[in-house]
Chains A and B, each alone.
Chain A
Amino acid sequence: MRAVVTITRRSDIADPEGATIARALSDLGYGEVGTVRVNRTIEVSLPGRDREYVLSAVRGMCDKMLANPVMEDYEIEVFD
């Protein structure tokens, strides 16, 4: 099993990198762009474990280390 963790900056915290990219996209002719946010993904493989175990284990990893709740949220997707 493979878990993909998407870590996002909490929406109430400014993302200056995303804002800079949004401006550049607009300059490039993509005036329809609203907001851009730069996220981070982390892939964790847990060979031989079932989906329930992987979700629970990776949630623990996120709470302990992979994400910082002061500034980040996270989502976990599990793939075979």
Chain B
Amino acid sequence: MTVGIIVFPGTNCEEDVAYALDALGAETVPVWHRETSLDGLTAVVLPGGFAHGDYLRAGAIARFSPIMAAVEKLAAEGHPVLGICNGFQILCEAGLLPGALIANRDLRFICRPVHVRVESTDSVLTRAAAIGQVLTIPLNSYEGNYLPGPEAARPILRYCEADGSVTGAANPNGSSDSVAGIANSSGTVAAVMPHPERAIEPFMASTDGRVLLESFIAASEAASLGAVDG
């Protein structure tokens, strides 16, 4: 079971994601955006960064990179696809997830740990977590303010207080409905704005990112055994 990590020009979290998945027992391989095939790979991660300089809109150019047709095919086959931060923006631009991400409410780049509450365990990112579980994970974004589209989003993580209550004050960026992470209807395509790969070792802000990435690895292993739709 090998997870592909898509690398665009301007992606900068690919090594962090590789480190984290490797630490949790998964094999990974970087995949350059000019590639056109994901054959042999079970799942993919679109990591954070500034793909194509975030020119035009974050993710707007990346969604037309040659590899994206293969990512869309993998997603259509029911394989796990995860977007983190800039990867979230790319998946929305690509139409694999609904909505869009705009500049933070206060026009400030936010770089600090935030609390998120697990809203649904029906996704490749949250299946090993518990509903209501509060996780502390670093947020690192300027355009993290989620705006729903005509099609309703399915929240899997929402910004909250340390005790799990979802309040306006705990919403760092103005995101609609305090959304920090969403998934498609089948839960196979998921995205999260904070960075779980930066919360996996005791020296980091927390180790709460583990349960999310362990979920993703477990879903990827299940997919490699053929337990996917289509």
Where the two chains meet, the residues of A that have a C-beta atom closer than 8 Å to any C-beta of B are 13-14, 16-17, 20, 65-66, 68, 70-71
Contacts and interface: CB of A to CB of B under 8 A. Distances in A.
A13 B147 contact: yes
10 cross-chain pairs, A with B, having the tightest CB-CB distances, nearest first: A70-B100, A70-B149, A71-B100, A16-B107, A68-B100, A71-B147, A68-B57, A71-B102, A70-B99, A65-B60
Nearest to A19: B107
A65 B147 contact: no
28 contacts: A13-B102, A13-B147, A14-B105, A16-B103, A16-B105, A16-B106, A16-B107, A17-B103, A17-B107, A20-B107, A65-B56, A65-B60, A65-B61, A65-B64, A66-B56, A68-B57, A68-B60, A68-B93, A68-B100, A70-B92, A70-B99, A70-B100, A70-B147, A70-B149, A70-B150, A71-B100, A71-B102, A71-B147
A25 B138 CA distance: 36
Interface in B21-76: 56-57, 60-61, 64
Interface residues of B, number: 17
Nearest to A66: B56
Contacts of A20: 107
A14 B145 CA distance: 11
Contacts of A17: 103, 107
Contacts of B93: 68
Contacts of B106: 16
Contacts of B99: 70
Contacts of A14: 105
Nearest to A42: B56
Of the candidates A13, A65, A66, the one having the most CB atoms from chain B within 10 angstroms of its own CB is A65
A13 B147 CA distance: 9
A15 B208 CA distance: 34
Nearest to B102: A71
B6 to A, nearest CB: 19
Given A16-B106, A20-B107, A65-B64, 18 more contacts: A13-B102, A13-B147, A14-B105, A16-B105, A16-B107, A17-B103, A17-B107, A65-B56, A65-B61, A66-B56, A68-B57, A68-B93, A68-B100, A70-B92, A70-B99, A70-B100, A70-B147, A71-B147
